[in-house]
Structure 1
Amino acid sequence: MQDLVKGKRTRKNFVRGFTLHTKLVLTTTVILLFGGALLILALDWNNASSLGSLKPAQKAMAAFFQSVTTRTAGFETIPQANFSDGSAMVSMILMFIGGSPMGTAGGVKTTTVAILLVVVASYIRGDSDTVVWGRKVMEENIRTAVVIFFFALTMAFTATVLLISVTGSPLLDCLYEIVSAVATVGLTRSLTPTLPAAGKIIVILVMFMGRLGPVTLAIALRRRSGRKDVDIQRPEQRVLIG
Structure 2
Amino acid sequence: MKSKSKKIELTPPQILVIGFALIILAGAGLLTLPVSAASGVPTPFLDALFTATSATCVTGLVVVDTGTHWSLFGKIVIISLIQVGGLGFMTMATLFAFALKKRLSLKERLILQEAMNQGSMEGIVRLIRKVLVYSLTIEFTAAVIFAIRWSFDLGPVRALGYGVFHAISFFNNAGFDLFGPITGRFSSITAYADDYVINIVSMALIILGGIGFVVLSDLMEYKQRRRLSLHSKVVLSASGILILVGAIVIFIFEFTNPKTLATLNWNGKILASFFQSVSPRTAGANSIDIAGMRQASQFFIIVLMFIGASPGSTGGGIKTTTFTTLIGAIIAMIRGKEDIVLFHNRLGKDRILKAITLTMIALFWVIFVTMLLSTTEDHNFLMILFEATSAFGTVGLTMGLTPDLTTFGKLMIALTMFIGRLGPLTLAYALGPKAEKELFRYPEGKITIG
TM-score (norm 1): 0.89
Q: 1:11 maps to what in 2?
A: none
Note if 1:46 corresponds to 2:237.
no
Q: Indicate whether 1:238 and 2:440 are aligned.
A: no
Match of 2:421 among 211, 223, 238: 211
Indicate if the aligned counterparts of 2:315 and 2:421 stay in contact, CA closer than 8 A.
no
- 1:227 Cα shift? 5.0
Q: CA deviation at 1:214?
A: 1.4
Amino acid in structure 2 at the alignment position of 1:232: F
Q: Percent identity?
A: 39
- Which structure's CA Rg is the greater one? 2
1:93 Cα deviation after fit: 1.1
The alignment partner of 1:96 has SS state of: helix
Alignment deviations for residues 12-56 of structure 1 (CA, whole Å, 9 cap, x no partner): xx9993322122111100011111011000000000001111111
How many residue pairs align between the two structures? 227
| Separation (CA, whole Å) in 1 of partners of 2:344 and 2:401 | 47
2:379 aligned residue (169, 174, 189): 169
2:324 is the counterpart of 1:109: no
Compare 30-39 and 125-134 and name the one that shifted more: 125-134
TM-score if structure 2 supplies the norm length?
Answer: 0.49
Kindly report which structure 2 residues correspond to 1:1-242, keeping only aligned pairs within 5 A, or say none: 17-222=227-432, 224=433, 226=434, 228-230=436-438, 232-242=440-450
Q: 5+ residue gaps in structure 2?
A: 1-223
Q: Structure 1 counterpart of 2:442, which letter?
A: R
Determine helix, strand or coil for the equivalent of 2:306: helix
Residues 282 and 308, structure 2, Cα contact 8 Å, conserved in 1: yes
Answer with 20-29 or 155-164: which moved more: 20-29
CA distance in 2, matches of 1:69, 1:174: 19
Q: Which residue identity is paired with 2:436? A: K
Question: Could you say if the C-alpha distance between residues 234 and 188 of structure 1 is closer, same or farther in structure 2, counting changes exceeding 3 Å?
Answer: same
Partner letter of residue 120 of structure 1?
I
Paired residue type of 2:398: T
| Rounded Cα–Cα distance in structure 2 between residues aligned with 1:131 and 1:21 | 13
- Which residue does 2:88 correspond to in 1? none
Which residue of structure 1 lines up, in the alignment, with residue 77 of structure 2?
A: none
CA RMSD of aligned residues (A): 1.7
Please give the alpha-carbon distance, in whole angstroms, between the structure 2 residues aligned to 1:135 and 1:227. Answer: 29
Equivalent residues of 2:282, 2:393 under 8 A apart: yes
Give CA-to-partner distance per residue, 1:122-159, whole Å, 9 cap, x none: 11111122222321101111011011110111110010
> Could you tell me how far apart the structure 1 residues matched to 2:435 and 2:343 are?
37
Distance 1:17 1:125 in 2: 29
